[in-house]
Amino acid sequence: MKKKRIFDLTLLFLISPLSLSLLIILTILNLLLNGRPVFFKQKRIGYLNRVFTIYKFRTMPIGTDYNNNIKNLSRWNKFLRSSSLDEIPEFYNILIGDMSFVGPRPLLTEYLNLYNKQNLRRHDVLPGITGLAQINGRNSISWKDKFFYDIEYVDNQSIYIDVKIIILTIFKIFNYKYINSSNDVSMEKFNEDSEQ
């Protein structure tokens, strides 16, 4: 865990010139194109089931249902989501220790009581901006597959695997087919009937 934290902070420092520049540019553009609030924040479940606040760029109209509006988003908002640029504010979550670059994606607090014992193990590590599920289908795979990849990461995590996942994530972000195939794909809400 200590090595992973050192890795996260080192990488955060190395990319800070680029990430801070992008943060400023995207904040201005999102203010102009989406108005206020520029950022979206929400309670999520993190390491050892602790609740924390995640920060992202807002891409949805305030008070609207995600699943009903994802296909009607503006080109700008679809671009932010499909390119994962809306995740850049999460670098702050990494800085303060709530998240890592790589790990299971942090999910809604309402899902916590729905997990089985095995899937609760996804919280044995820090949640991440990207992870095995993100490079193996993102929102197009089932909840069962997402949890499979999450637990596989928990059982096999290493700096080497983190580096590999980050490289594959960057490759997919710049892959034209990947970006376009993810524009209109939303994650189905997890419930008691979801496969675990």
38 part of a folded domain: yes
187 part of a folded domain: no
175 part of a folded domain: yes
Structural domain boundaries, residue 116: 2-181
Query: How far is Cα 37 from Cα 67, in angstroms, rounded to an integer?
Result: 21
Query: What are the pLDDT tens digits along the chain (196 aa)?
Result: 789 999 999 999 999 999 999 999 999 999 999 999 999 999 999 999 999 999 999 998 876 655 556 667 889 998 998 888 999 999 999 999 999 999 999 999 999 999 999 999 999 999 999 999 999 987 778 899 999 999 999 999 999 999 999 999 998 887 745 544 454 445 677 776 666 6
What are the structure tokens assigned to 115, written together? 């997990």
In angstroms and rounded to an integer, the radius of gyration of the C-alpha atoms of the chain is 16
Let me know if 24 is exposed, middle or buried by CB neighbors in 10 A (0-12, 13-18, 19+): exposed
- Residue 44: in which H helix or E strand, if any? strand 39-45
142 part of a folded domain: yes
- pLDDT score of 69: 60
Q: In DSSP terms, which residues pair with 41 in a beta bridge?
A: 55
**Where are the extended beta strands (E) located within 110-149?**
128-130
188 part of a folded domain: no
Q: Are 132 and 153 in contact (CB under 8 A)?
A: yes
- pLDDT score of 1: 78
193 part of a folded domain: no
163 part of a folded domain: yes
Q: How many domains does the chain have?
A: 1
196 part of a folded domain: no
Query: How far is Cα 24 from Cα 172, in angstroms, rounded to an integer?
Result: 24
> Phi, psi (5° rounding) for residue 51?
-85, 135
